[in-house]
Structure 1
Amino acid sequence: MKKFTLCLKISLVSAFCMFLCAFSDPETLEQYTGYLQKTFVDHYDNAQESSQVKRYELNVTNTGFCRYKRYYNNGKTEYFAFKLAKFKDMDYYGTTVSGKLYIHTKSDDVIVQTYKDRGGDVDSMATQIIIPVKNMEAEDLNLIRNNLERIVKLPPAEIPKTEVKSED
C-alpha cells in the first residue's frame, strides 16, 4: 500500500507540474529582438562617428535579423546585416562610458554592402559587425549576450524564413 501511495503522490506532483508548465508563457523571438532593438538604440554612440557619419539606421527585426546602415557625409553608404541565429560570440572593448561592441557570427554570415564608394559598389561577407555604444554596464552586456544565445537556441520552426533585402 505504501508503494501505491508513493506512486500516486509522484504522479500527482508530476501532473501538477505539467499543468503549471502548460500555462507558462515561454519567451518568443519577438521578445528577444524587442529587447535587443531597445538596447542598441538606447546605447548607440553616435559621437564616436559624428565627424564622418551623417546618420545611421540600426534595426533588429522581429524576423530575426540585425541591420545596420551608415550614411557618410561624403555620400558613401555602408550596410551590414546578419541573421541573429548565426550569432557565435561577442566582445566589448572600452569602458562603461564608451566602447565598441563586436558581434561575431559562426562564419562569413554578415552581409556587407558599400554604395557610392571611391572604389565602386562592393558586396562582401564578414564574420563580425562592430557597433559603437555608450553607457554600457556589465549587466547590459550580459543581457545582450543572453538574448542572442536564446535566439540561437530557438527551434528553427520559431524563426521565420525571410530573405535579406537591401533598402536602396
Structure 2
Amino acid sequence: MKKFTIGLKISLISALSILLCAFSDPESLEQYVEYLQKSLTEHYDFSQESNQIKRYELNITNNGFCRYKRYFNNGKTEYFAFNLAKFKDMDYYGNTSSGKLYLRTKGDDVIVQTYKDKGGDVDSMATQVIIPLKNIEAEDLNQIRDHLERILKLPQTP
C-alpha cells in the first residue's frame, strides 16, 4: 500500500508540474524585442541631432537585430546594425533629461554603412552604436540592460 501511495504522490506532483508549465508564459525573444523597441522609440531624442538629421529609423527586429538609420539634411545616410546576441555592455552619458546610450558589442560586430557621403560610400565595422535619448530614468536604463542580457541567455538558432 505504501508503494501505491508513493507512486500516486509522484504521479500527482508530476501532473501538477506539467499543468503549471503548460500555463506558464515562457520568456521569448519577441517579448524582449518588443520592450526594447518600445522603450528606445519612446525615449529617442531627435532634438539632439535635428539640425543635422532629417529623419531616422530605429528598429529592433524579431530576429534579434538592432538597426539604426540616420538620414542627414545634406543627403548622406548612415546605417548601423548588429545582432543583439553580440551585445557586450552599455553605458549612458548624460542625465535624466538628455543623454546618449552607448550599446557596445563583443568585437567589431556593428555593421556601418555610409551612402552619398562626400568621400563616397563606405562600409566598415564598429564596436558600438550611439543612440540619443531623453526623459529616461535609471530604472528604464536598468530594464533595457536587463532585456539585452536576457536575450544573450536565450538559446541561439544557427
TM normalised by structure 2 equals 0.90
- The structural deviation recorded for 1:136 is 0.7
Match of 2:68 in 1: 68
Match of 1:137 in 2: 137
Whole-Å separation in 1 of the counterparts to 2:3 and 2:145: 47
Match of 1:34 in 2: 34
Give the 3-state SS of the residue equivalent to 1:50 in structure 2.
coil
Identity %: 76
What stretches of structure 1 of length at least 5 have no aligned partner? Answer: 162-168
- The structural deviation recorded for 1:130 is 0.3
Letter in 1 for 2:38: K
Give the 3-state SS of the residue equivalent to 2:96 in structure 1.
coil
RMSD: 2.0
Letter in 2 for 1:96: T
Give the 3-state SS of the residue equivalent to 1:27 in structure 2.
coil
Matches within 5 A, 1:100-111: 100-111=100-111
Match of 1:166 in 2: none
Match of 1:154 in 2: 154
Letter in 2 for 1:78: E
Q: In the comparison of the two structures, how many residue pairs are matched?
A: 158
Give the 3-state SS of the residue equivalent to 2:56 in structure 1.
strand
Whole-Å separation in 2 of the counterparts to 1:4 and 1:96: 63
Whole-Å separation in 1 of the counterparts to 2:47 and 2:102: 18
Match of 2:54 in 1: 54
Match of 1:88 in 2: 88
Letter in 2 for 1:50: S
Letter in 1 for 2:33: T
What stretches of structure 2 of length at least 5 have no aligned partner? Answer: none
Give the 3-state SS of the residue equivalent to 1:80 in structure 2.
strand
Whole-Å separation in 1 of the counterparts to 2:20 and 2:60: 32
- The structural deviation recorded for 1:10 is 6.6
Letter in 2 for 1:132: P
Give the 3-state SS of the residue equivalent to 2:93 in structure 1.
strand
Cα deviation per residue 1:69-127 (whole Å; 9 max; x = unaligned)?
Answer: 00111111100000111111100010000000000111111000011111111100001
Letter in 2 for 1:123: D
Matches within 5 A, 1:116-131: 116-131=116-131
